[in-house]
Amino acid sequence: MKKWLTFTLLALTPGMLLAAGAEQSEGGLAGLWTLDMAFKTANFLALLILLHIYAKKPLLNAFRSSATATRDEMELTQKDVDNKEAQLAEITAKIDRMTQELEQRKAESLATIKEERAKIIADAEAQASRIGKAMEKRIAQNLARAKHELREFLATEAAEQAEADLKEKIGTKQKQALINEYTQTLTQVG
């Protein structure tokens, strides 16, 4: 505090002396190196010396602290940039891993879908084959039943027709002779 007060008083002194010297000068340009000009130069040099003595350290400290603060800020900013770049690299690597994993899962899913599709097609073909065989068997059974029913029907109809024909052609005596002949054949066979 004392240094600053001294500095302020010394800084104001040359200005007061200059004002006092201005009253003594005569008007116009008497010469470039007059007493007044020498006094001004001395005052200026004294001001520079006082500035050097009293303001050098605070100015240097201010410049150093400013430079240090700027350097620290730049280092901090550089660390932030490095951290952000590292985070970006991590995120990029993570995205790449996730993309690869997604591609792998996609390939696995496609393979699973193909396997399931082949399995479904094989099951469908097997089911169609079983249905086809069952239908062929059912058709064969229905055909055999229809043939049997047709034979029975034809046999019954033929017997009825033959009986009707015989009734028309054969009388009672002939019927009796046929019955006797039939019974004899049965007794001989039996």
Task: Quick: pLDDT tens for 62-77.
Answer: 889 999 999 999 999 9
Q: What is the mean pLDDT of residues 174-185?
A: 79
- The pLDDT of residue 157 is 80
**What single letter denotes the amino acid at residue 108?**
E
- The residue count for the chain: 190
Q: What is the mean pLDDT of residues 77-91?
A: 94
Residue 29 or 49, more confident = 49
**What single letter denotes the amino acid at residue 174?**
Q
**What single letter denotes the amino acid at residue 77?**
T
Domain residue spans in the chain? 2-19+35-124
Q: What is the reported pTM?
A: 0.39
Which among 4-13, 21-30, 145-154 has the top mean pLDDT? 145-154
d(CA 155, CA 148) in angstroms, rounded, equals 10
Q: What is the mean pLDDT of residues 85-97?
A: 94
